[in-house]
Chain A
């Protein structure tokens, strides 16, 4: 037989955690200035096994276990970034960043501006975030809106293995401090991840599903809940457009407004506390633009409940938006149209 068959390479699947590790492996392998810092990221492999065995490949000088000193550790990362290193700093849980806010907010975010542009802080911080693990109020928060409120920081919420690898590599190539929120429930989620080096743009949302009837702008884990809701909605004849915001700061205004102009309906879904959260910013962005004229119904925000994340599993589920909430919101908006 003389036929040559082009065989497409099988789609390589990695988990979200593996994709992060692969990005860090590429960074450590290609740039001697890159170091990892965090609590128990060495032989332990990280609380969520994200750093895994990297310490065996790169050694303790580059995969640095810090003492349990979040403020000091974060500040060391800031100082190192100011003077030649490119640290990737892992908070064990995003909640613990509360201990380090001084260094993140007053130092990392502001130093370039305060010094008139004479320095930059090429720092990446990683925040395992979100609820659903039964870890209760101090290990389950979604604080991206806190940091999204600070000029000088970039705040990312990748929702897929492919994106988290590409966005981490984009963050490392960025001269400014970039905060990456990783939902803990996503760590085991598998998906296609391209091999080798690539970057996924910061500040660019992704349209995950096209639709004409209602726009659902979602972040992080909520993207997957929104996509599941969209499947059910489609069976009802409602075509939802699902936008994965991907970056909280800077927010992709164009993608959101274009979609709202098309659908005339908007649901914002995010896990952080609803009030003064990411959804408020998305809604205001629409309200302040010409897209407002295209709205056929009020905007709906679905955010975290106005309480700490509770322990009891049923209460915990009730504290953040779930698929049926998205379904109901989209249906109620589309009601007049269908």
Chain B
């Protein structure tokens, strides 16, 4: 990074790069993600959702910062902990809740659930239930863009756990060899289920994996939306310019357990509370207020507005029709005209 000082040097990157409207929307999305996850958790507790879920509370800056400058034509592949990615890429929370509730009105008509939400119309190629499953798919999407002469970039979200899958290494290598427009975004939340990166990973920083493939790798504070956005924008610009892939590591933390079965036996309460003190949402809100982008009244509006949006989404979802059981095997194959 440049050490040159300029007039804007003490203004966070996101704030000096984006319009006030865009920044306020980014904050709104962070609120929406947080409240979506809380709403999902509550719905689960109330027995409205069957199956498990993987919540990303605490990681909102990573999702929103990564998607901040993307267009709908840009693609993402997501992970089992993907609700934040969906919302950051523009998904409708009502259709997401409907999917959670297994409704025909959900993104996947109730066939996918929490781990398979996708929204191809917004470039979201889908979450994935297989750790590392989305990595080569993202490279394939980037191959399509290059071969078909499109300028879209693919963002490949994956977790620290996936960095030890063969799919990660094969994918990064191929993208590097073929100089494909893909950005590998590792959300390092410190644990693959219960196993810490210290116990699973041979490098200190997952960004160091980039060296093995001769691509740029950078590690940033994943709870700082500006730091995330700056790293991603650089990587996306490089990808769009045909210079190939990059690896960005967003160091963050999930406040909740891995899934609903997690008893948190592998980390301390102190560690969790330390990270909760580094909440990315009030941090960004305070920055926006400090730089005159946002007023306290607007913040209150965002807070109340996202509460309302989530409540309405849950109502929409609950009232939706269940899938027709006679349609059980629909969409296994594409129905073609006889």
Query: Which residues of A approach B to under 8 Å, CB–CB?
Result: 32-33, 35, 61-62, 66-67, 69, 71-85, 87, 102-103, 106-107, 111-120, 151-152, 154, 174-176
B331 and A67 contact, CB distance less than 8 A: no
Which residue on A lies nearest to B170, using beta carbons?
Answer: A72
> Is there a chain A Cβ closer than 8 Å to B265's Cβ?
no
Known: A78-B137, A111-B126. A119 touches B118 (CB 8 A): yes
A115 and B144 contact, CB distance less than 8 A: no
B148 and A79 contact, CB distance less than 8 A: no
Query: What 0/1 pattern do residues 161 to 188 of B give for CB contact below 8 A with A?
Result: 0000011011101100100000000000
B106 and A83 contact, CB distance less than 8 A: no
A84 and B116 contact, CB distance less than 8 A: no
Chain B residues with CB under 8 Å of A67's CB are: 170, 173-174, 177
Chain A residues with CB under 8 Å of B174's CB are: 66-67, 69, 72-73, 76
Chain A residues with CB under 8 Å of B75's CB are: 83
Interface size class of B (residues with CB under 8 A): 35 or more
Sampled A-B contacts (23; CB under 8 Å)? A62-B147, A69-B174, A71-B166, A73-B174, A75-B133, A75-B167, A76-B137, A76-B139, A78-B140, A80-B140, A82-B125, A82-B140, A87-B140, A107-B130, A113-B111, A113-B331, A114-B126, A115-B111, A116-B110, A117-B334, A118-B118, A119-B125, A119-B126
Known: A75-B135, A82-B125, A107-B130. A116 touches B140 (CB 8 A): no
Chain B residues with CB under 8 Å of A71's CB are: 136, 166-167, 170
> Is there a chain A Cβ closer than 8 Å to B332's Cβ?
yes
A72 to B329 Cα, complex, angstroms = 29
The distance from the CB of B203 to the nearest CB of chain A, in whole angstroms, is 20
A79 and B173 contact, CB distance less than 8 A: no
Interface residues of B in 136-161 (CB under 8 A from A): 136-145, 147-148, 150
> Is there a chain A Cβ closer than 8 Å to B330's Cβ?
yes
Query: What 0/1 pattern do residues 114 to 133 of B give for CB contact below 8 A with A?
Result: 00101010000110111001
> Is there a chain A Cβ closer than 8 Å to B197's Cβ?
no
Known: A75-B136, A80-B140. A69 touches B170 (CB 8 A): yes
B137 and A115 contact, CB distance less than 8 A: no
A112 and B334 contact, CB distance less than 8 A: yes
A78 and B136 contact, CB distance less than 8 A: yes
Which residue on B lies nearest to A72, using beta carbons?
Answer: B170
B106 and A116 contact, CB distance less than 8 A: yes
Max count, chain A CB within 10 A of own CB: residue among B137, B148, B329: B137
| Complex partner residue of A116 from B125, B133, B331, CB under 8 angstroms | B331
